[in-house]
Amino acid sequence: MTLILATTTPGEAEIFASLQGEGASIGRPSVFVRLSRCNLACQWCDTAYTWRFTGDNRPHRDGRAFERKQNQVSLDPAEVAARVRAFGVPRLVLTGGEPLLQAPALTRMIAALGEGFHIEVETNGSVAPPPALDAQIHQYNVSPKLAHSGNPAALALIPERLAAWAADPRALFKFVVATPTDLIEINALAREYAIAPERLFVMPEGTDSATLRERSRWLAQAAMEAGWRFTDRLHIHLYGDTRGT
């Protein structure tokens, strides 16, 4: 059983150390493992190279398709664990794509890591973690996809999954916001699933600093008024929209 990872360059797995750029752990030194494949298709996705391969006609705003062989690599879970340990950073972020699609191999990889790691999973919230993996996770960064993502609600906003995340104290919610209209949908979800304001982050959508700053002006004020938490995209300001950062 192997892990299917995204790549930084053809053949080179996207495993890297950086500062966490978003959410509750923003600014913390972390090791990232970016997995390939996703069950959803956000039209503004900034990692479309993890899922929009040639022949996949799910909509994306730039219309680009990626060659699978250049953008995927398979590694044994023990090899991934060894590469993570080599960085000497005790915080691991599993991202994607949708990491929970590869839960069995992730379970093996985390077991191979050994003790001493704080492990976060970045998930779109539509996939349930099986018990063996769930027992190993310290923090879930759950990012349910709103209507502006282009995903049907029946696929992206599954009631039983949202209820389960809301009941899990390890889960923090991070909503991507493009326009003020998105706030209406977030309010409705927060009420329906009783998501406490201190667990709810709003984040501007954008892959350049200018767009993020423009949207942050009104989104920060909206967060203040609602009692939510605001998060920027630190890595975009530091490194731009690039792989391995």
CATH value at residue 153: 3.20.20
Does a structural domain hold residue 211? no
Q: How far is CA 193 from CA 19, 94, 140, 222, in A?
A: 31, 25, 17, 20
pLDDT confidence of residue 26 = 98
Compute the Cα dihedral for 55, 50, 22, 99 and give only its sign. Answer: positive
The tally of domains found in the chain comes to 1
Does a structural domain hold residue 52? yes
- Tell me the average pLDDT across 116-137: 98
pLDDT confidence of residue 60 = 96
- Tell me the average pLDDT across 71-93: 98
Report the candidate in 142, 167, 141, 172 with the shortest Cα–Cα distance to residue 157. Answer: 142
Does a structural domain hold residue 207? no
Tally of CB atoms within 10 A around 80: 24
pLDDT confidence of residue 118 = 98
At 205, is the pLDDT very low, low, confident or very high (cuts 50, 70, 90)? very high
Does a structural domain hold residue 130? yes
Dihedral through CA 130, CA 135, CA 141, CA 145, nearest 10?
10
pLDDT confidence of residue 107 = 98
At 198, is the pLDDT very low, low, confident or very high (cuts 50, 70, 90)? very high
Does a structural domain hold residue 8? yes
DSSP-derived secondary structure letter, 158: -
Does a structural domain hold residue 221? no
* SS percent in the chain: helix, strand, coil, step 5: 40, 25, 40
| Structure token pair of residue 67 | 């060659």
pLDDT confidence of residue 188 = 98
Report the candidate in 171, 159, 235, 180 with the shortest Cα–Cα distance to residue 201. Answer: 171
Digit-coded pLDDT (tens) for 47-64: 999 999 999 989 999 999
Q: What percent of the chain has pLDDT over 70?
A: 100
pLDDT confidence of residue 204 = 98
Helices (H) and strands (E) in the chain, counts: 9, 11
pLDDT confidence of residue 85 = 98
Does a structural domain hold residue 239? no
Does a structural domain hold residue 126? yes
At 144, is the pLDDT very low, low, confident or very high (cuts 50, 70, 90)? very high
pLDDT, averaged across the chain = 98
Structural domain harbouring 89: 3-174
Distance of CA 141 to the CA centre of its chain: 7
